[in-house]
Amino acid sequence: MTRLTLEGLEDQLDELVMLVSAVTEDGLERTDRLEKAVGTLREQLQELIEHVAATEAEDAGEEEPASWVERATPEAWVALADWVDWLQSHYEVSGEHRLPPCWPRHKGAVEELAALQGSWKNAMLADMKAEGVGDAAVYWHDRYRGEGLRRACSSINRACFNTGHTEPKPVPATDRGALPSGA
């Protein structure tokens, strides 16, 4: 709800107050009840206006997103490493989807694995809540497990799989001259 909409509601409430005060003396008791109700509505509307203003102020100062690698705590790194070790052991991952031990040195692989871990947690929790009638775990296995591992592995230099860790080569920056004029 926007501030403009709330201010329009406030104007309508003012009009209602004028109509209530125009009620004849015969309806004095009803008028008192209506005035109390209007007063309560006015207070609630003011709270809403203040809440919307505060929310708009918060949204204006929104943070820029940060990658998992940039925001992860040391505990989150350990939890991810433990989970990746468990994943590879539990599913007996081999061949082209088996991660080399240096995977934490490859940011792209880390981002993929952190996302895979998050989706696994959500799927398993959803399945637990469904008490045996959910399909979140099946969907995770079908859609995310293999594909997530494939993407993580594709973010790692092939030499790391064969001869040990190899530092990634710097990727050239985008040719800014190729951007449309005025960009």
pTM for the model: 0.63
Distances (CA, A) of 8 to 46, 73, 161: 12, 47, 65
- 44-52 contact pairs (CB < 8 A, 24+): 45/6, 45/9, 45/10, 45/13, 48/1, 48/6, 49/3, 49/6, 49/7, 49/10, 52/1, 52/2, 52/3, 52/6
| pLDDT tier at 39, thresholds 50, 70, 90 | confident
pLDDT tens, position by position, 154-169:
999 989 998 999 988 8
Please give the single-letter amino acid code of residue 36. Answer: K
Domain ranges of the chain: 3-59, 68-162
pLDDT of residue 102: 95
Q: Which backbone phi and psi does 117 adopt, to 5 degrees?
A: -65, -45
| pLDDT tier at 147, thresholds 50, 70, 90 | very high
